[in-house]
Structure 1
Amino acid sequence: MLQHVPDLLTVEELAEARRLLASADWVDGKVTAGTQAATVKNNQQLPESAPQIRALRQLVLMALNRNALFFTAALPSKILPPFFNRYSGEANQYGFHVDNAMRMPPDGGGYVRADVSATLFLSEPDEYDGGELIIEDTFGRHAVKLNAGSLVIYPSSSVHKVNPVTEGARVACFMFIQSMVRDAEKRRLLYDMDMSLMQLRHQVGETEPVVHLTGVYHNLLRHWAE
C-alpha cells in the first residue's frame, strides 16, 4: 500500500529541520546501501557522526509518534533511526532497487525487519527539478514528489528509484519500519477497515454495529500481529 501522510511536520518543525541540515557535511550515500543497491546509488547522506543527527531524529520520531494516519497505515512495531539524504550536482540519483529485508540500527543492537519504507520530503517541489520517487506495484509505476514536511510510505518489498535531480537540491529523510503485521495485504485490509470505522463514527456515532466492527478490527489485529 502506498500512502501519503500530509504535513507530518509542523511549520516550526520543518523550519528547524531545514535549519539543522543547512550546515550539514554530507558523505557518500553508499554507506547504508546493500550490495545490489550500492551499484545504482549515487547520492549523499548525513553521517552518523554529524552533530545535527540526534536532534533531527528526535524531531522526526516525535512527529511520527503523534500521527494517527501513519500509525494506522504502518502499524509500527520498531522504527529504525531515521536517515537523511541529499540529491544534487553529480550525486543526483538512485536507480531501481529493493530495500534490504533486514536492517541493523546504527548502534549495532540487533536487526529490524524492513516491512515498510518511508520518505519524508524536506525540500519544496519547486526547489529542485526531477527527483521524483518512482514506486512500482501491481498497479504500475507511481511518481511521488510531495510538499516539504509530507511523508509517503510504501512496502519495503517494492521496486523503487529516485529520478535524477537536474537542478537544485532534493533533501529528504528516509526510514524503515518493522510492522506489527508483516503481510502488506493484511495491513491494507486493517487500514481500510480502520478508515471506514472512523467515517462511521463521525456519521452515526458509537452505535452497536460500530462497536461490534471495532471489536472485529481489534480481534483481527490481535490475530495477525506478531
Structure 2
Amino acid sequence: MAIHLKAARLCRLAGRTVPSLSVTHRPAVSHPERRCFLSTSTGKNLQFKLDEQTAHSSLDLFKKNTAVIYRMLGLDPSHVQKNPERFQDWAVVFGDEKISSGRHYWEVTVKKSQEFRVGVAEVLMSREDCVGTNSSSWVFGYAQRKWFAMTSNKMVPVTQVGKPDRIGILLDYEAGLLELMDVEKHAIIHTIRAQYKTPLCPAFGLWDGELLTHSGLEEPEGLK
C-alpha cells in the first residue's frame, strides 16, 4: 500500500530547529523482543539484518535482508502479513538485533537515496510513530540536500558534511552516545547524547531510493 502522501510529508518534514537537542558537533580529525539476539561488548561484532516483520509495505528488502528499497506504490496491505511489529503508516524498518550494552559500529551505503533516516530506536517503540519524532528514537537524516540530527521531533542541522556514498554509525550504550561517522577519515562528524534505558535496535526510515547496511564491522581505530 502506498504511504498516504500527506502523512509521509509530515513524517519527512516533522520537527523544528531548536537548540535544546543535546547534539555535539566535532570537526572531522523485533516484537523484535522475541526474535533478537542480545548483543554485548564482549561478544562478536554486532551483526544484523533488516527485519521483514517490521518493514512498512512500501519497503522491499533484498540482498538477504541487508538492503532496502522504497517503492512509491508499495504493496497492497492485504498481501502483507499482519502483525503488531509492522509499521503501518511510516516507511520504517528495524534491524533484527537488540542492543542493551556495549559499543557497536555499522555502516550504511546511502548513495542511492536522497531522503532517509538512520540511527537507533527502542525495540518496543510504537509502530504508530516515525523514527525521530518521539523520545524512543535517535536518528541522523538527510533530506533536501541537508543533514540533520533528530529525536523527540526536534531537528538540529548537521553542518560541514556533504553527501558521502557511505556513512558510519557508532553507538555507545552506557555512555549514551550515537555518532555519525566519516568512514573515509575515520572521524566523528556529529554526536547525539541520550540516556538509554531499554534495549535498542538499528532503525531506518526511507522515502527515496535504497539503503545497504554493513554490519559485523570493527570499530575504527582511535575513537575510544
TM exceeding 0.5: no
TM-score under structure 2 length normalisation: 0.24
Structure richer in strand, relative to its length: 2
Please report the TM-score for the alignment, with normalisation by the length of structure 1.
0.24
* Greater Cα radius of gyration, structure 1 or 2: 1
Which of the pair is proportionally richer in helix? 1
Instruction: Using CA pairs under 8 Å that are at least 6 residues apart, name the structure with larger relative contact order, 1 or 2.
Output: 2
